[in-house]
Amino acid sequence: MVRFVFLFVVALLAGPAAHAADYPAKPIRVIVPYAAGSTGEAALRVIANAVEPKLGQPIVIESRPGAAGNLGAAFVAKADPDGYTLLLGATNNFAINQYLYPNIGFDPLTAFEPIGILVDLPFFIYANPQLPAKTLTEVIALAKQKPGTLNYASSGIGTPMHLGGVLLGRVAGIEMTHVPYRSSAQSVAALLAGDVQFYIGTVPGGPQLEQDNKLRILSSAGPRRAPTLPRVQSAAEAGLPNFEISNWWALVAPKGTPQPVVDALSRELRAALADQAMKDRLLQMNMVAIGNRPQELAEQMKREAGIWRDVIKAANITVN
């Protein structure tokens, strides 16, 4: 009897290690909490082609949209921590939504084991070309002269585009009017039509639209020039070193997933994203390959969550 109990305890203690050594032994399911065709899904499909042969198992992508990505994220937060159900979420899933939706049922900062950021989608500050200001510095000066008269579009209250405008107003010391639309496409259409003066995000075909004098790209939405459009000055160069927002996509596992499993996934993803051909391919898709380590992702989640918590609280932003 004593020997049986001893062996049972040894088996329990060895279970996770044995599991990790055999990982992966079956397909890995990655939940994307948005409708099929999202930016993150497109990136993952390219990356998966390089990672699957190394892992020896397919990566199955499953869309679970709803509630601004909260439904899919909650599903993974409650999944078995065995490394076979992962979440590919965007910035808002990890650093924003918990402050807009207080009843989502989990805290992204504690519910997941970070694996790494796959790609970053740089944001830019765009303006309608009819605006009598040609640079971000001139636009800020104009906004200070006419508080509240300039407006900017977003794809909805609480979206990164909306919060980017709030943060811009905060760090630049200007007052602008937010005009929410139902989608990014409608926001861009409003910018091109001159219904709004600004938009912070990404505009497909932005350089060509600028060449056709349909919009103006004022700066990147960060302290450095974006690799996707290096000719455009950074926000720091325009005098806003503390302004930064982008849409990064990160892979995480449920809390309690064995560290060797997390390390195995991180290792293969980082190797794939370090390949120059992969970087070039993603850059063609207007994405920047990142491939950071789990601890680096954890630190970024915590840092950005603090920023957006303060922005949301100070602006009293609520989502009905």
What span, in angstroms and rounded, lies between the C-alpha atoms of 140 and 259? 47
Residues 6 or more apart in contact with residue 53 via CB below 8 angstroms: none
| pLDDT the model gives residue 13 | 52
| pLDDT the model gives residue 8 | 44
What's 158's domain CATH number?
3.40.190.10
Interhelix angle 259-274/276-284, nearest 10 degrees: 80
Classify 304 as helix, strand or coil: helix
293 and 253 housed in the same domain? yes
* Contact assessment for residue 63 and residue 36, using Cβ atoms and an 8 Å cutoff: yes
| pLDDT the model gives residue 4 | 44
Q: With respect to residue 265, please indicate whether it lies within any of the assigned structural domains.
A: yes
Rg (CA), the chain: 22
Residue 198: strand pairing partners: 127, 152
Tokens describing residue 290: 């990142």
* Contact assessment for residue 249 and residue 89, using Cβ atoms and an 8 Å cutoff: yes
How many CB atoms sit inside 10 A of residue 99's CB? Answer: 17
158 and 200 housed in the same domain? yes
Q: Which of 220, 239, 264 is the last residue of a domain?
A: 220
Spatial CA neighbour of 20 closest among 314, 262, 310, 305? 262
pLDDT tens for the chain, 320 residues long, are 445 444 444 444 544 444 567 999 999 999 999 999 999 999 999 999 999 999 999 999 999 999 999 999 999 999 999 999 999 999 999 999 999 998 999 999 999 999 999 999 999 999 999 999 899 999 999 999 999 999 999 999 999 999 999 999 999 999 999 999 999 999 999 999 999 999 999 999 999 999 999 999 999 999 999 999 999 999 999 999 999 999 999 999 999 999 999 999 999 999 999 999 999 999 999 999 999 999 999 999 999 999 999 999 999 998 86
283 torsion bin: left (phi>0), alpha (psi -120 to 50), beta (else)? alpha
Count of domains forming the chain: 2
102 torsion bin: left (phi>0), alpha (psi -120 to 50), beta (else)? alpha
Spatial CA neighbour of 274 closest among 260, 293, 252? 293
What span, in angstroms and rounded, lies between the C-alpha atoms of 141 and 76? 46
Q: With respect to residue 229, please indicate whether it lies within any of the assigned structural domains.
A: no
Q: With respect to residue 59, please indicate whether it lies within any of the assigned structural domains.
A: yes
Tokens describing residue 91: 């910035």
Supply the range of the domain harboring residue 261: 23-120+247-315
What's 98's domain CATH number?
3.40.190.150
Residues 6 or more apart in contact with residue 229 via CB below 8 angstroms: 122, 124, 206, 207, 217, 220
Q: With respect to residue 271, please indicate whether it lies within any of the assigned structural domains.
A: yes
Q: Which of 202, 220, 238 is the last residue of a domain?
A: 220
Tokens describing residue 111: 């519910």
